[in-house]
Amino acid sequence: MASSVLHNRDILALLFTYQSGIPLGLKDIVRKLRHVHKFRQQSINLRAILQPIPRIDFNLVTAMNLYRSCPEVITTNVMDHLAAQKQLELLKYFGEQGKMCTVWAMNEASERGYIEIVQYLHAYTTSGCTEYAMDYAAKNGHFTLVRFLHENRSEGCSNYAMTFAIMNGHLRIVQYLHTHRNEGYVPRAMDIAAQFGYLDIVKFLHCERSEGCTRDAMTQAAKHGYLDIVQFLDEHRSEECIGESYIAAAARGHIEILTYFDLRYNFLLDTCRATALNTAKLRSNLTIVHYLNQLTSQNRSLWCTVQYLSRQPVIAFNSFLLALRS
């Protein structure tokens, strides 16, 4: 009896349709999807430091076979992963079969700038998102997504949205959030904008916002050689720390910034020049050592030259700076 059944193709196929198990052709995909599910059970911070999962590609026919054979493998974690990997066709198919996402589907699609995924999730699912979505869309410069989330979703953002945009130089997003949101930013963000040389953002925040910055803004701008930002902060802000900025500029060899401070503050810097000189010596920056030695010696000839050139046309002063560099 058993032998006759096993040798009958039609009966055997019918029996197999009622058996649990994974078709051999789907075994590798199922294994990968189970790994995805397990991986995404970890916190997002832990996932960020672990080796990322490679993209899992399979076509719609395979997806249908997968759902028919073992639908339980398509978990919410897997659905979130499909959204994060921009696999819209698979996301739509499994969604039509009743499979659900979590808030992390829209969160991570927003973070990566996948507007089509976010629009689909917004229109056809109820999973929603959190403030993370707009915060990280702003961080990564995805202006279209920031605007879409603001206009179509109610979750909003936190003050990290503008903070991240400031820190990464996304002026257009900063301006949009300033006009349409009221979460603000943390003052350290303006410091970091100064550190990375985002003069347009520093000017915008000074003119349009009230959060301000800290003393580190000028120090970091001086340390990294952004004379235009040093000048702007010196002329318009009160959080400055001239001595620390002078030493920071000396440590990194930015002679233009030292000269700027010497022109502006004359002998007020005598107390910190010794520290600046020692710092330059430790770093073997001979140009800075030579410059500071001349300023601190009894022979003030260079200082007199600086004083004279400060009253001359800009072109003469610029030529002087070039000579100091050579």
Kindly state the average pLDDT of the residues 25-29. 76
Give residue 253's pLDDT band: very low, low, confident or very high (50, 70, 90).
very high
Interval 283-323: pLDDT, tens: 888 999 988 888 766 435 555 555 555 555 555 555 655 66
Residue 29 is predicted with a pLDDT of 82
Kindly state the average pLDDT of the residues 49-62. 81
Asked which of 68-77, 155-164, 225-234 is least confident by mean pLDDT, the reply is 68-77
Interval 170-220: pLDDT, tens: 999 999 999 999 999 988 899 999 999 999 999 999 999 988 899 999 999
Residue 274 is predicted with a pLDDT of 86
* 187 vs 84: which has the higher pLDDT: 84
Long-range contacts of 280-285 (CB under 8 A, 24+ apart): 280/250, 280/251, 280/253, 283/251, 283/253, 285/250, 285/253
Give the DSSP per-residue string, 179-193.
HH------THHHHHH
C-alpha–C-alpha distance, residues 231 and 285, integer Å: 24
Q: What's CA 74's distance to the chain center, in Å?
A: 31
Interval 116-163: pLDDT, tens: 999 999 999 999 999 999 999 999 999 999 999 999 999 999 999 999
C-alpha–C-alpha distance, residues 281 and 156, integer Å: 52
Position 114 pLDDT exceeds 90: yes
Residue 12 is predicted with a pLDDT of 52
Residue 28 is predicted with a pLDDT of 82
Residue 299 is predicted with a pLDDT of 38
Cβ(107)–Cβ(136) below 8 Å: yes
